[in-house]
Structure 1
Amino acid sequence: MVSVQEVMDIMEGFAPKHLAEDWDNPGLLVGSPAQRTERIVCCLDVSDGVVQQAIEADAHLIVAHHPLIFKAMKNVRTDLPLGARIAKLLKHDIAVIAAHTNLDIAEGGVNDVLAEAIGVGKLSSFVIEQQDEDGRPASLGRIGTLPTPMTIADFAAQVREALPTAHVRYVDAGPRPVRKVALCSGSGAEFIGRAAALGADAYVTGDVRYHDAQHAAELGLHVIDAGHFGTEFPVVASLRQRLADALTERKRTVEVIADTQSEDFFHVI
């Protein structure tokens, strides 16, 4: 078994809380640091399906990317979805830890997993938020290169095949080949100008709006919108493996399970 506190210590090594944005809410959100468990579920969102998976697996800890509790709560209404979910977690002694923007920024975190999945290498900083404890820049997103140039259509197809999404949308900004790629998992349309300024040929992110796409086209920047879910869900398997390896090193007999319940909210017909 392992305590929630020990898992929090491991997560601090992967994704230190000081890397998180000021508006974020990472850390222990439900339960006690003293809670002990033999199984852990890793997920993107603490959904009803994930909670049920944890109950059925007799897991007493969920490690999520998105915080279950994000804004200040003045009440816990069990007749509403969030309150009912919190009540169910407490009833079954299931604690919840979140690592959000700190896991986005951390080395080996969401953006590095995304870059590897879509074939972008030789990575460097994209949007520098702060410095880590060694004085190195801590970056939201990454910028790197493809092994060989591609057309935007071919690169978009490669991204679609690599990620858990049924479709991607892309902005074709002209005949410019794609070699240098910027990326920001989740929702990063606000950084389109930054990607163009750094000389990226294409920018991969999610949640791109119409006028964001228009702005990118005017800048001559290809954009691939692979969705919020599609660009972030790959970290779940990576996090599961990293936690499992770290617990094995500590000689803890704990099963770490990846979320098998979640899928993108958007469907295409």
Structure 2
Amino acid sequence: MFAKGQTVIQLMERLAPKHIAMPDDKIGLQLGSLRKDIRTVLVTLDVTDEVVDEAIALGAELIIAHHAIIYRPLAHLQTDTPAGRLYEKLIKHDIAVYIAHTNLDVADGGVNDMMAEALQLQVTGHLEDIHTDKLKKLVVFVPETHQQQVRDAIFAAGAGWIGNYSHCSFNSAGTGTFMPREGTDPFIGKPGQYTQADETRIETVVPASVQNKVVQAMLKAHPYEEVAYDLYPMDLNGRTFGLGRVGKLNEPERLDAFAERVKMGLDVPFVRVVGDPAKPIRKVAVLGGSGSRYVRHALFAGADVLVTGDIDYHTAQDALAAGIAIVDPGHNAEKILKANVASWLQARLDEQKSATKAVASKIDTETFKLL
């Protein structure tokens, strides 16, 4: 059985939740419909004419891309322009396009973690913190016979995390009282009878970002017709998500050797380097995409080098004067996401016993050539 488009995206948003994207980022469904079966989903960095042809050849009904195809509101849709022809081809072949951009950069296991892993960094933090989840306390009263069922449901929905510990809860036994009224269908007791029930009070923490999902999972798993529960705000912060990564090499190495590491790890044909080739490198900041404005962040983090794309001339001069090296593998280095995301998504689809296939694009969308 093939997964519906909405299901594929729900799985994708487990990896890259929309709420952690940078403000005003162009993410989500940008073209087409998700209300259909998806036999093949194509994962790509960019949606180019060649990538669309690849999707057509594969019979893909959905493209998941990192870079948006629509950046600003459209005043018109002219099919005699390059963008218009692209949209027309996608629409004619009923191919939907979904964008996961900064939410995929920021996500645990996302683009920046992929790049850090490829460079064999021991990650110690983010280059810039951008989103911190607020925590809430969920308290629910459950008959003793169903306490594990409810706990399993709320934990699976995202509740119960404290730091790097999962499935955290406190449970206390007690007696619940109620009187089902006329027209009710109680799980315990009978209408018109005062009832006492052995119940468990389950307390756990819930990130505000998944509050609705957790509550819905709890209500579905709970056997009562009317569920007694409380949700309290807390003056505590949960998980922090950040852009870029800072980490260390196992052993220091020269900048020129590190540049070769970047070329190999990120599979790019060339890099631009700012700094003395003999400079020792131990602490590294890495940021996928365009990172000119993050040189100061890398300096503040104490990095010896910043690995990022699209460095302009004057930023390079400023970095050199400030004593931080730069290795620029180009914006296209983010292509590392294609195989990784396709593999992650395929594993989730397989868990659901879906016949849908997630495929990494084989098209090289690098714009620049070295002559």
In the superposition, the TM-score normalised over structure 2's length comes to 0.70
Output one character per residue of 1:86-145: Cα deviation in whole Å (capped at 9) or x when no partner: 111111111111100100000100000011112212331111111146422211100000
For residue 195 of structure 1, what is the aligned residue in structure 2?
298
Amino acid at match of 1:168: V
Alignment of 1:146 onto 2:249: yes
Q: Determine if the alignment matches structure 1 residue 227 to structure 2 residue 228.
A: no
Asked if the contact 1:173/1:216 (under 8 Å) is kept, the reply is: no
Q: Partner of 2:270: helix, strand, or coil?
A: coil
1:4 pairs with 2:5: yes
Query: Would you say the 8 A contact 2:306–2:324 is kept in 1?
Result: yes
Q: Following TM superposition, by how much is the alpha carbon of 1:3 offset from its aligned partner in structure 2, in angstroms? A: 1.3
Superposition deviation, residue 190 in structure 1: 0.4
Moved more, 152-161 or 257-266: 257-266
Aligned to 2:264: 161
Q: For residue 177 of structure 1, what is the amino acid of its counterpart? A: P
Structure 1 outlier segments of 4+, above 6 Å: none
CA contact (8 A) 2:116 2:123 kept: no
Do structure 1's residue 261 and structure 2's residue 262 form an aligned pair? no
Answer yes or no: is the 8 Å Cα contact 2:130–2:243 preserved in 1.
yes
Residue matched to 1:244: 346
Question: C-alpha separation between the residues in 2 aligned to 1:236 and 1:34?
Answer: 24
**Compared CA separation, residues 174 and 241, structure 1 to 2 (3 A):** closer
> Partner of 2:179 in structure 1?
none
* Matching residue of 1:106: 107
**Farther-moved stretch of structure 1 (46-55 vs 123-132):** 123-132
Counterpart-to-counterpart distance in 2, 1:4 and 1:74: 28
Assess if the C-alpha contact under 8 Å between 1:28 and 1:97 holds in 2: yes
Distance across 1 between alignment mates of 2:307 and 2:25: 23
Asked if 1:171 is matched to 2:274, the reply is yes
Give the 3-state SS of the residue equivalent to 1:150 in structure 2. strand
Of 125-134 and 100-109, deviating more is 125-134
In structure 2, C-alpha distance between the alignment counterparts of 1:248 and 1:74, rounded to whole Å? 41
What whole-Å deviation, never above 9, does each CA across 1:244-263 have from its counterpart, x for those lacking one? 00000011011211111123
Say which is worse superposed, 166-175 or 65-74, in terms of deviation: 166-175
Helix, strand or coil at the partner of 2:289? coil
| Range moving further from structure 2, 107-116 or 23-32 | 23-32
Structure 1 segment 50-69 matched on structure 2, within 5 A: 50-69=51-70
- CA RMSD in angstroms comes to 1.3
**Partner Cα separation in structure 1 for residue 122 and residue 133 of structure 2:** 22
Unaligned runs of 5+ in 1: none
What SS does structure 1 have at the residue aligned with 2:316?
A: helix
Q: In 2 relative to 1, CA 13–98 (structure 1 residues): closer, same or farther, beyond 3 Å?
A: same
In structure 1, the residue matched to 2:157 is none
> Residue deviations 1:179-206, cap 9 Å, x none?
1101110101101011011110111000
Deviation at 1:220, TM superposition (A): 0.6
**Distance in 2 between residues matched to 1:19 and 1:70, nearest whole Å:** 19
Contact 2:46–2:365 (CA under 8 A) maintained in structure 1: no
Task: Provide, for residues 67-99 of structure 1, a one-character-per-residue CA deviation record: whole Å limited to 9, x for no partner.
Answer: 111211111110011111111111111111110
Contact 1:173/1:221 (8 A) holds in 2: no
Structure with the bigger percentage of strand: 2
Task: Check if 1:24 corresponds to 2:126.
Answer: no
2-structure distance, mates of 1:77, 1:164: 37
Aligned residue for 1:92?
93
Which amino acid counterpart does residue 191 of structure 1 have in structure 2? Y
- In the alignment of these two chains, the number of paired residues is 268
Greater C-alpha Rg: 2
SS across alignment from 1:218: helix
String of CA shifts for 1:192-228, please: whole Å, max 9, x gaps: 0110111101110000011111111111101101100
Counterpart Cα distance in 1 of 2:69 and 2:289:
16
Q: Which residue of 2 aligns with 1:35?
A: 36
Q: Say which SS state the counterpart of residue 108 (structure 1) adopts.
A: coil
Any gaps of 5 or more consecutive residues in structure 2? 135-206, 208-237
3-state SS, counterpart of residue 282 of structure 2? strand
Equivalent position SS for 1:84: helix
Distance 1:142 1:122 in 2: 7
1:175 CA drift (Å): 5.1
Displacement of 1:174: 7.5
Residues 174 and 220 of structure 1 are in contact (CA less than 8 Å); yes or no, is this contact kept in structure 2?
no
